[in-house]
Amino acid sequence: MPAPCPLKIKLSQQQRTLLEQVVRRHSSPQGLVQRAGVILSAAKGMNNTQIAQELQLARNTVRTWRQRWLAAAERLSRVEAEGISDKELLEMMVTILADAPRPGTPATFTTEQVVQIVALACESPHCSERPVSHWTTQELVSEAVKRSIVDNISQRSVGRFLKRGYSTTTSSSLLAQR
């Protein structure tokens, strides 16, 4: 019984050249290189099983990228016919081959809140009328809530913010050592 024949991918010379550049470029993310390789192999007429074996991918992965490319192929051809630059076409192709947004819990704290907490840690505790010489995470939590920067935050979260931004805050530790 013959294997099912997937839909053919037809690439313009400009698309093929740009995808080959992505594959050859040393600075390309490997996921993008793999996906570009899938599209180039599909354009050569290979089926999903052959591509999966050649690139050591799951057949469903190959099928996903082939379908995603085919869904965008008409739009790519249309903008290419309008005379789009190589750079703009490459950006569109990279967007097509990019990971889809994944679901997940949204961030609990905004960037502005994190920046305000780090800025608070850079201030002297005496400016906030705190009876300590150095900030502790508990003191920072209390002051952040008092100033209405956040409604509630854990000491661990404050510690993570300071550790992540340590290199840009100050040259000496702002937290009291235990």
Q: Is pLDDT at 76 greater than 60 in this prediction?
A: yes
> Residue 72: what pLDDT?
94
Residues 6+ apart with CB under 8 A from 114: 161, 165
Q: What is the DSSP letter of 128?
A: G
What mean pLDDT, rounded, does the chain reach?
A: 88
Q: Is pLDDT at 41 greater than 90 in this prediction?
A: yes
Q: Which residues of 142-159 are buried (b: 16+ CB within 10 A; e: fewer)?
A: ebbeeeebbeebeeebbe
pLDDT tens per residue across span 95-134: 999 988 888 888 889 999 999 999 999 999 988 888 888 9
Q: Are 52 and 62 in contact (CB under 8 A)?
A: yes
Mean pLDDT along residues 131-142: 91
The β-bridge partners of 135 are 175
Q: Is pLDDT at 145 greater than 90 in this prediction?
A: yes
Structure tokens at 31: 């996921």
Q: How far is CA 66 from CA 37, 80, 140, 152, in A?
A: 11, 20, 52, 47
pTM over cut 0.85: no
Q: Is pLDDT at 88 greater than 80 in this prediction?
A: yes
* Region of residue 114 (phi > 0: left; psi between -120 and 50: alpha; otherwise: beta): alpha
Q: Is pLDDT at 174 greater than 60 in this prediction?
A: no
Sequence spans of domains, the chain: 13-96, 111-169
